[in-house]
Amino acid sequence: MQKLKFPTSHKTQVMDITKEVEEMVIKSGVKDGLCVVTTPHTTSSVFLFENQDPALRRDLLNALNRVAPTDGEYFHKGENAAAHLKSSRMGNSVTIPLEEAKLQLGKWQGVFFAEFDGPRQEREVYVKVIAG
- pLDDT computed for residue 59 by the predictor: 98
pLDDT at position 112 is 98
Confidence class of residue 56 from pLDDT cuts 50, 70 and 90? very high
As a whole number, mean pLDDT of residues 41-56 equals 97
Name the pTM for this structure.
0.96
Q: What is the pLDDT of residue 79?
A: 93
pLDDT in tens, 73-95: 999 999 999 999 999 999 999 99
Confidence band, pLDDT 50/70/90 cuts, at residue 45: very high
Q: Tell me the β-bridge partners of 112.
A: 16, 47
Confidence at 126, pLDDT banded by 50, 70, 90: very high
Domains delineated in the chain: 2-131 (2.60.120.460)
- Contact indicator for 91, 47 with CB cutoff of 8 Å: yes
**Mean pLDDT calculated for residue range 34-53:** 98
Mean pLDDT, the chain, integer: 97
In this prediction, residue 26 has a pLDDT band, given cuts at 50, 70 and 90, of: very high
